[in-house]
Chain A
Amino acid sequence: MGATPTEMPIPVDWYLYLSAALFIVGAAGVLIRRNLFVVLFSLELMLNAVNINLVGFSRFHENLVGQNFVLFVMAIAAAEAAIGLAIATALFRNRQTLMVDLFDRMKG
């Protein structure tokens, strides 16, 4: 909001490139990493990639709704992290490991 006409604004594309890069890194982490904690971290990365996307568009459209939305996403992410870590703790107690590829009891 503090942009003055003399300054050169950051184009919206840049936000999108950054957001996409972060999202792909996060998605790859979720799909590939074996450690449950790292998978959870990667999930946070994906969420934050979305946040950057929202903020970027919010600025581009000069509309606060997008930033408003980001606050909700952060709250949800916090709750999700709490539940995810609780599940991780419970899993570790039962299986003494957090390697995701070892959790295949539902194999057909």
Chain B
Amino acid sequence: MENYIWLIPVLPLAAFVITLIFGKWWIKEASHWLPILALAGSFGLSFAAFLQIRGAEEPVVVELWRWFSVGSFQVPMTLQLDQLSAVMCLIVSGIGLLIFIYSVGYMHGDGGYYRFFAYMSLFAFSMLMLVLAGNYLVLYFGWEAVGLCSYYLIGFFYHKPEAAAAGKKAFIVNRVGDFGFGLGVMLIFVTFGTLDYSGVFRQVGAGGASDGVLIAIALLLFMGAMGKSAQFPLHVWLPDAMEGPTPVSALIHAATMVTAGVYLVARSAVIFASAPTALLVVGAIGTFTAIFAAVIGICQKDIKKVLAYSTISQLGYMFMALGVGAWAIAIFHLMTHAFFKALLFLGAGSVIHALGGEQDMSRMGGLAKRIPATYYTLVAGALALSGIFPFAGFWSKDDILGSVWRDGQYLFWAVGLITAFITGFYTFRMIFLTFFGKPRMDEATGKHVHESPWSMIVPLVVLAAGSLLAGFLGLPGRLGVLQGFLEPVFAPANHVLGIEEHTLTAVDYVLMVVSVIVAALGIVLAWFMYVRRTDLPALLGHRLRPAYKVVYNKFYVDEFYAATVVRLTVDGSRWLWRNFDEKIIDGAVHGTAWLWQQAGRAVRPLQTGRVQNYLLGMFAGLFVIVTVVVLL
């Protein structure tokens, strides 16, 4: 296993380099083959590694070469494979592979076809590096690299000003979080003298740092996680990121990259477990984000924006689980969410494709009969997202709510339950607006509606099967295959928190039934408002005008940032430009030039141009020198 782990990330990297160099002139329309084959290779190797790592007590660590070697600062380039990274590798390469195949149909005929597949390969490489990293610096490398790919791909349609702006926004907002993450990594090195996972965790377990330092490290790492996983208040970039092509939204901004923050917290479980205050912050932020984003999702008109806010909300659930130390369950929800959210995005992409680029749900409707394959798979995804038995989302979401209840965080639990209701409502509002009722698009578009090509339908069907079945990997209690598989990774953290293995009780069954009923109520309400009484939404919107406006405008968070942080930065920068740069820096440069110009002007008359004058000067000089030498 040590021999081939490095190939898992390197295969997509090779595909990226070759596609980028030769794509434009040689490979052109066949640019998808190399990235797809490379990622399939990564998937195969990940699967082999997954089988071999099963039940192993210790992670496999491979040191490729010494990366930094400066005095006591020694950082090797290490890859580490344990159960957690094996699961993440499978998700990234597996979901990625399906989305690559889907993109063949979706991106067909785009001018930047080769560029798209090159960047997607680079993303796969970066994400695999992130999950396979053996120390915090390699993790940081992967972390920044996925951010870069995200920027490239959000701004893929760079000729559109909104897309370019969204790319910049994502990059800058992430930078805020990454700043904290970077400080966290430095603090880890200063405190423990190493960045290797095993070394750091061993020292944390042995009580090698004071509580305050541990809380600081945990919160700084969580700041990075908040940026990458779009948690309040750093969530503003994710909805805008929907400007990218739909497969990008599916792979990067729903299924994999945004879960990097969840992975980071789960990876550092020992640190967080030893800093309960930080753990509480993680849970609180996650819970608040879950309901906050779900509420915004109710009022969105753009089909992709609805999904974007649901992603933020589901990531909030994952952090809620991490906040009560349910590490394996957070990873379980990450996995099921990867399936159904990729499915929902790709299905939405199929709808958009059928309507020739229309994303506004108020101009959809009545599509169920026209594009049946898309309709059925999308409904499967929606049921999974709402958490309806027996779809994947049911198992993972109820595991989260159950573990929150067991931990005694009843407030988190109540908020999570309300969020489940809202989730059912907005998800099926989307389904009903898209597929039911009368068609609301104009006639030309309506005639043009067509089912997507097989390369798009096949991934949808596979993902729908995954959304239906993936939940059975993580049945609650002792039955959970995934929880058992991840046990060796999280055992130290669970030991710190004193979490025992849990057997199912009557309470768990009651909780499950309650949450399914609540989600179903949300769906029924959506049906009532958007199928039965279609006049109700407009009426309600009119009655509750102020509340509707606030939610529709996403609680004015963007406006708040524009008026405070952005405004301050821009005004401050302008002030510095006018006063510091133009006056002091430029002033110094110009002043130096002026000084020498004046000096030159002063001595210029000496240069008469007459040879005899110069000669006289030479004689005079000679005379002086000789005089001095002779007399002294």
Contact = CB atoms under 8 A, between A and B. Distances in A.
A105 B604 CA distance: 14
Interface in B602-624: 604-612, 615-616, 619
A101 B610 contact: yes
Interface string A25-59: 00100111000000100000000000000000000
A104 B609 contact: yes
26 contacts: A27-B619, A30-B612, A30-B615, A31-B615, A31-B619, A32-B612, A39-B612, A100-B610, A100-B611, A100-B612, A101-B610, A101-B612, A103-B609, A103-B610, A104-B608, A104-B610, A106-B607, A106-B609, A107-B607, A107-B608, A107-B609, A108-B604, A108-B605, A108-B606, A108-B607, A108-B608
A100 B612 CA distance: 8
Given A31-B612, A103-B609, A103-B610, 12 more contacts: A30-B612, A30-B615, A31-B616, A32-B612, A39-B612, A100-B610, A100-B611, A106-B607, A106-B609, A107-B608, A108-B608, A108-B609
Contacts of A101: 610, 612
Interface residues of A, number: 13
A27 to B, nearest CB: 7
Interface in A66-108: 100-101, 103-108
A106 B604 CA distance: 11
Interface of A: 27, 30-32, 39, 100-101, 103-108
A105 B615 CA distance: 17
Nearest to A105: B609
A74 to B, nearest CB: 23
Interface string B4-19: 0000000000000000
Contacts of B608: 104, 107-108
Contacts of A30: 612, 615
A39 B608 CA distance: 19
A92 B612 CA distance: 18
Nearest to B604: A108
Contacts of B610: 100-101, 103-104
B626 to A, nearest CB: 13
B610 to A, nearest CB: 5
A103 B614 CA distance: 13
The 6 closest A-B pairs by CB, nearest first: A108-B607, A104-B609, A107-B609, A106-B609, A108-B604, A104-B610
Contacts of B611: 100, 103
Nearest to A32: B612
Nearest to B605: A108
A27 B623 CA distance: 13
Interface string B189-218: 000000000000000000000000000000
Contacts of B604: 108
A27 B608 CA distance: 20
Interface in B24-44: none
Interface in B267-298: none
Contacts of A27: 619
Nearest to A107: B609
B618 to A, nearest CB: 10
A103 B612 CA distance: 10
A46 to B, nearest CB: 11
B413 to A, nearest CB: 89
Contacts of A106: 607, 609
Contacts of B619: 27, 31
A39 B611 CA distance: 11
